[in-house]
Structure 1
Amino acid sequence: MNDRDTLISMGFDVARVEWALKATGNRGLQPAMDHIIEHDGQPVPEMGTVTESASSRPSDAMDEDDEDADALKALGAKAGDVEAKSIKCSECGKVFRNTALAQFHAEKSGHQSFEESTEEIKPLTEEEKKERLAELRAKMAEKRANKAIEDAKEAKSSEMLRRKAGKDMGALKEEMEKRQALQDAEKKKREKIEDAKAKAAVKAQIEADKKARAEKAAREKALRNGEAIVDAPAAKPAASTSGGAPVAGKDFKETRLQIRLSTGGQPYTTTLSSDAPLREVAEFLAGQVLAVDVETVTFAQSFPRKTFSKSDFSKSLRDLGLTPSAVLIATP
């Protein structure tokens, strides 16, 4: 509803309403009301006077007037015999000063049946106008207060949603940081294990090379002095007696092994006690290569050709004829 309809619904004259709106430049409801109250009792200027003639009324109201006139004629009366001073709602009985107010009532209530009435509506007194104005101001203030309350509730709800979203994001970020920390710790642990394995392999290689150089120097010294070479029988490591026990290398306390993977790659060397079981060789290799499982790895010897079974894992290197040195092929 615009300012014009609001002022008319309060009972102000249409001409004064239009005068007030034009004089205040349509700046709003409050300036127009102030103008009406301030100029109450003064004649409406001719330029601002807008009478409720047939040309200024809506077409719907004109149609209603024509229909009412036709109805009066149908009853045998003349339209000029009855002077309509107001419009009455046939459904609720309310009386309105003019057609504009009746149309406003029809829009709000949905009522469609109206009739002309000879009942005259007295103009509002100064007290009534002030009461209406105070009532309207109170309603506007209440509406603004309710709007402020709704805005505050909406702002509070939005703030709660924002805080909840922030809390959820914080929890998700914390969970991601924990997972990343666990992954970093696991990575460092694996790197530490790999470093330890690499250091052990390097150390074992250094020891093996040192021992090999010592054995070589001992053999060369024995050759220069014409002495017997102690590890000469190592060329026949697999010789055995009729009882099945190996003979060669039985006096060596340690066995030097070179282990090659059937899948290729660098060989691994180690020196173990000659009394160590073959399973210890599998455990050493599993510590060097992640793909090797102690329970599934198998060993073979190229020369003399021989394959070691699971039952051989409990036998010593001495009993298997691998002393003082041997080359094994490992299949993961």
Structure 2
Amino acid sequence: MSDLHNLMDMGFSEAKCQKALSVNNNNFQEALEWLLVHGNQPDEPMVVEENPGPVLKLSKDQAKQEEPNKEDSKEEEVASANSLKCDDCGALLKDEDFATLHAHKTGHVNFSQSTESIKPKTIEEIEEQKKRLEEKLIRLRHERLEKEKQEQLEREKARRKEGRQLNEIKQKFQEEEMKRIAEAKRREKLEDAAYKRKVKEQIARDREAFKKEQQGQAVTETKPIQTPVQTQPTQEKKEYTECKIQIRLTDGSTMVHVFKPTEQLASVRLWIEMNRKDSVGKFNLMQTFPRKVYTEDDMMRTLTDLGLVPASSLVVTKV
């Protein structure tokens, strides 16, 4: 049964039902809701556009009875035909208008006249059908709400999944960044350790050489002194055994330490690294007057060779 028939069986007029379907794009649920709101309003004239639908064809047996030369059979047929029957599905239809609507809805085109009568529904049947339609309407609403709820859940799942993926990407990036920083610090520590080890080895060699030099001087002093030929006293170059160095740090504070003249400048730099309190990190050494910035080559030279004996002042600068 068509939507129009279902709505009319609920007690609404044909014009009202047609208008309800028309304004709601033939949507049964929306048309029923519209009728429940506007069903008690008076009918208004409605202009229906003519749209040629499927051509209704009578069956062969019925067509034979429609020959024009049998006027008596026509009158008898009109008197006995109480409805139209769809030969495609067997549905009984009240008149040609209902048959046309049925053809539009189903695409069936084969119809024949029938002597069967469509019994009008009683008030109880109309109320029962109306109740069923209302229940169907409630079910359709519930299904629509469930569908919207499910769609909302799917959207929320998609949003959370996207959020998790973004968090995983961010966490992976942070972990890789931390690994890079840790690797850089490890390399820096290895380089510093190698540098300090090199300086310590050089200091040890210098001290060993100094020790041997001192032992050699002691042996020389124990040898018998020959009576020298009386000569004119000469001015001897003064030999220093200590070198006092003042170190000015980056924060303005100073430190003072006494080194041996034979120690290398690298020994001074190592002592500063081990005792400074201002900051950490690589640094350079320089002399303000005369101005000189010491290089890596200078680190292997002794304090005497650099002219820092017996006392001098050095400045620590950041690299």
Could you say which TM-score interval applies, normalised by the shorter chain?
Answer: 0.3 to 0.5
Q: TM-score, normalised by structure 1?
A: 0.46
